[in-house]
Amino acid sequence: MNVCVIGSGGREHSICFKIKQSKKLNNLFCMPGNAGTSEICKNLNVDISNFNQIYSSIKKNSIDLAIIGPEIPLVNGIVDFLEKKKIKVFGPNKKAAQLEGSKIFMKNLCNKFNIPSAQHFSISSVEHAKTVLKKMETPIVVKSDGLAAGKGVTICNSKEAALIDIISILNGKFTSSNQVIIEEFLEGEEASYFVLTDGRNFKQIGTAQDHKRIGENDTGLNTGGMGAYSPSLLINKNVEKKIIEKIIIPTITGMEKIGCPYKGILYAGLMINKGEPKLIEYNIRFGDPECQVLMMRMKDDFLELIESTINNKLDNHDINWSQHPCITIVAASEGYPEKYENLQEIENLPNNFKDKNVQMFHAGTIKKNKKIFSNGGRVLNSTVIQPTIKLAQKKALELLDDVNWKNKYYRRDIGWRAIK
């Protein structure tokens, strides 16, 4: 089979790394990919916001199956578009993608099927906001309804601050939506839970813990993720049972009942407090960098699992995992998530790792004249499996310490909770 992975981050590099191991694969492509994916597959220089360009490139390269990495093309209906043209595609369709594309849609589903999540209010006007805020206690969580590249949530310590934020969203701060919801603040620890589902059957596809903040000790600005490890130690058998019974099953059956059967990766962002999970949000794709640690730990043929998902045959599979934990540490350009310099030459970058337990995935990198340059906020993901998280962290740091570019920045404490 000829397969194309769509996207250009560390997530997509790790999906390519995993698919490359499949016995069902003939040729592998990445659209548009990065310097790292170009080492293991053929990059196709396509603007992935242009679905017609994607389709032409798929036809030209006789690609049979497209795997979609990021959320934006999914929310914009890439699956519906390619399916209409008889191309196999892995991911939820436009209707089902609303689980991430609209927080109001997701909250309505929670209410309808009694899925535990924070109490919320959809706000229709400034006057309405003022009335609702009177009833609430601080901190108050203000969210934009639509996609906001990780910037759509603010935790406000005063009602005045919440109102300012609400007004700016109502006035169009985010282009994806000017609808806003406010939520009660949930206490606890966050964890991510992933399932693969064909719309009826589902398989647990790993747990992970990410570090969203830029600074050590989880301080500073929020980022897309500065590192992750798997498995999550917060999710024991007892908590997992609750996640499945109270959150995952009602979601999958609920989506079918409302006419939006969900196919693909479903990523539940959870808050766990005293052993009780609540849903914070759904994502309709793998997390980045959580995907990197899951792809390393998965022992099965992922392409086979994807085909079974598309063909509604997931019940025939069991998914097996490395006994050992995996960590990924993100090296970013200094300044990220705010302003940073691009196009710094990266030296001493190892490639061609023979050991499948040690990989340097690329995110924002670009190759020019056989040299590799930084090309984004998050640049590299040093990803290692070892018998303990502590050993994995040590090895992942050693790999990054040896790589040089002018504004390299990474946290040295990824996995600290698990190590403690």
Binding interface with ligand AMP (CB under 6 A): 118, 141, 153, 183, 185-186, 190, 269, 280-281
- Closer to ligand GLY by CB, 225 or 376: give it: 225
What residues between 266 and 285 interact with ligand GLY by CB under 6 A? Answer: 283
CA–CA dist 30, 383 (Å, integer): 20
**Interface with ligand GLY includes 376 (CB under 6 A)?**
no
- For the CB of residue 414, give the shortest distance to ligand AMP in the complex, in Å: 16
- For the CB of residue 183, give the shortest distance to ligand AMP in the complex, in Å: 4
- For the CB of residue 404, give the shortest distance to ligand AMP in the complex, in Å: 32
CB 152 within 8 A of CB 146: yes
Assign 80 to helix, strand or coil: helix
- For the CB of residue 145, give the shortest distance to ligand AMP in the complex, in Å: 11
Residue 193 backbone phi and psi in degrees, to 5: -130, 130
Q: Which does 290 bind (CB under 5 to 8 A by kind): ligand AMP, ligand GLY, none?
A: ligand GLY
Helix (H) or strand (E) holding 3: strand 3-7
**Interface with ligand GLY includes 210 (CB under 6 A)?**
yes
Q: Which does 185 bind (CB under 5 to 8 A by kind): ligand AMP, ligand GLY, none?
A: ligand AMP
The contacts of residue 96 (CB under 8 Å, 6+ apart) are: 255, 260, 261, 262, 263, 264, 284
Give which of 185, 193, 202 is closest to 239, Cα–Cα.
193
What residues between 223 and 262 interact with ligand GLY by CB under 6 A? Answer: 224-225
Q: For residue 298, what is the DSSP state? A: B
Angle at 221 between CA 220 and CA 225, to 5 degrees: 105
CA–CA dist 379, 263 (Å, integer): 30
The contacts of residue 372 (CB under 8 Å, 6+ apart) are: 35, 345, 346, 349, 365, 366
- For the CB of residue 225, give the shortest distance to ligand GLY in the complex, in Å: 3
Per CB under 6 A, the list member of 290, 308, 377, 383 interacting with ligand GLY is 290
- Closer to ligand AMP by CB, 254 or 269: give it: 269
- Closer to ligand AMP by CB, 151 or 356: give it: 151
Q: Position of tokens 């992942």?
A: 396
**Interface with ligand GLY includes 288 (CB under 6 A)?**
yes
- For the CB of residue 95, give the shortest distance to ligand AMP in the complex, in Å: 20
Residue numbers of the site for ligand GLY (CB under 6 A)?
210, 224-225, 283, 287-288, 290
